[in-house]
Amino acid sequence: MTMKSQFTAVVPVAGSGTRLRPHTHSFPKVLLTVGSKPILGHITDQLTGAGIRKIVFVVGQFGEKIQAYVSKAYPRLEAVYVRQEQPLGLGHAVWTAREHVSGPMLVLLGDTILDADIKRFIIGGGNKIGVRVVDDPRRFGVVEQKRGIITKLVEKPAHPRSNLAIVGVYSFQDSRPVFRSLDRIVARAAASHGEIQLTDALMDMVRGCSILKVLPVAGWYDCGKPDALLATNRHLLDKLPGKTLKFQGSLIIPPVYIAPGAKIERSIIGPYVSVGAGASICSSVVRDSIINEKAVIENAILDQSLVGPSAVFRDGMQRVNIGESSEISLEDGQL
């Protein structure tokens, strides 16, 4: 049995997901399927698996879709939804949750699936920031540390003095100092109109003599860009327990995930294909692709493609990246 935790988790999912357009024009990035469930499902499973009972989701313009998914998939979770009117930065997203958090807090980004045991972040006390050695630290928030204690944090440094990147999981034994620092950073940013970074609030805490420790994690699976999402899909499908899937008249080449209720007829599916609930694939060949819920694929050959929920793709052979409810039907010869 999992021990219940006093930690409140804050999961920011209000970002605009610009790198995953066109999907994110009409659909929240974190509800796109990867492996056998939406990105947010993997993250919520990790949190509940670590004993967390309360999660504050910081939502943006697609808040209702996120609430509908979470309340259906996790009916016993104490879920709170707070709205961040504009994506002003991760620090601002966490600050938006302040009235719903007391006591210990864990922050986990809504779009990064970590290869980490979240329990290590909530046991043993102290403040812990998840880190990993990376090749190019200039793209990340970076920490400098001495014997495991953080001395400096810098967001996307031009000349990094460390290769330890912040991976997107943070735990705080007491949330009050974090919100005090965020109050200061938010007030300062209001004057400068800059992005409100969580890294800056953590640096403010370090200056105020809070002790933040680094906690290394094995890795993370980025879902921020189409290629990264497909790579994460391949990785998660490799980890699924091997199950022989049979659809009469079709060939399924594992690893593949096909949600219950999806229709597969006269097709070759796999390897590395994830098919969402209610999707329909007929007379097609699909490999290395994610076909989201209720999408329709007919007479098509698809490779390395992302097909959004309820999108329709007919009579084509190409690599596609099509958003929710779009329809593409190609005439004869237009391949």
Residues in touch with ligand UTP (CB under 6 A): 12-19, 29, 58, 84, 87-90, 92-93, 109-111, 224
Residue 95 or 257: the one with the smaller Cβ distance to ligand UTP is: 95
C-beta separation of 129 from 214 below 8 A: yes
Shortest distance in whole angstroms from residue 109 CB to ligand UTP: 4
The residue with its CB nearest to ligand UTP is 15
Residue 94 or 269: the one with the smaller Cβ distance to ligand UTP is: 94
Shortest distance in whole angstroms from residue 44 CB to ligand UTP: 13
Q: Is 212 exposed, middle or buried (0-12, 13-18, 19+ CB in 10 A)?
A: buried
Residue 10 or 143: the one with the smaller Cβ distance to ligand UTP is: 10
Residue 190 or 335: the one with the smaller Cβ distance to ligand UTP is: 190
Shortest distance in whole angstroms from residue 260 CB to ligand UTP: 28
Shortest distance in whole angstroms from residue 28 CB to ligand UTP: 8
Q: Could you tell me the two tokens for 21?
A: 């357009």
Shortest distance in whole angstroms from residue 62 CB to ligand UTP: 10
C-beta separation of 112 from 167 below 8 A: yes
Shortest distance in whole angstroms from residue 167 CB to ligand UTP: 11
Place of tokens 């209001």: 190
Residue 167 or 203: the one with the smaller Cβ distance to ligand UTP is: 167
Residue 230 or 296: the one with the smaller Cβ distance to ligand UTP is: 230
Residue 88 or 169: the one with the smaller Cβ distance to ligand UTP is: 88
Amino acid at 332: D
Shortest distance in whole angstroms from residue 296 CB to ligand UTP: 27
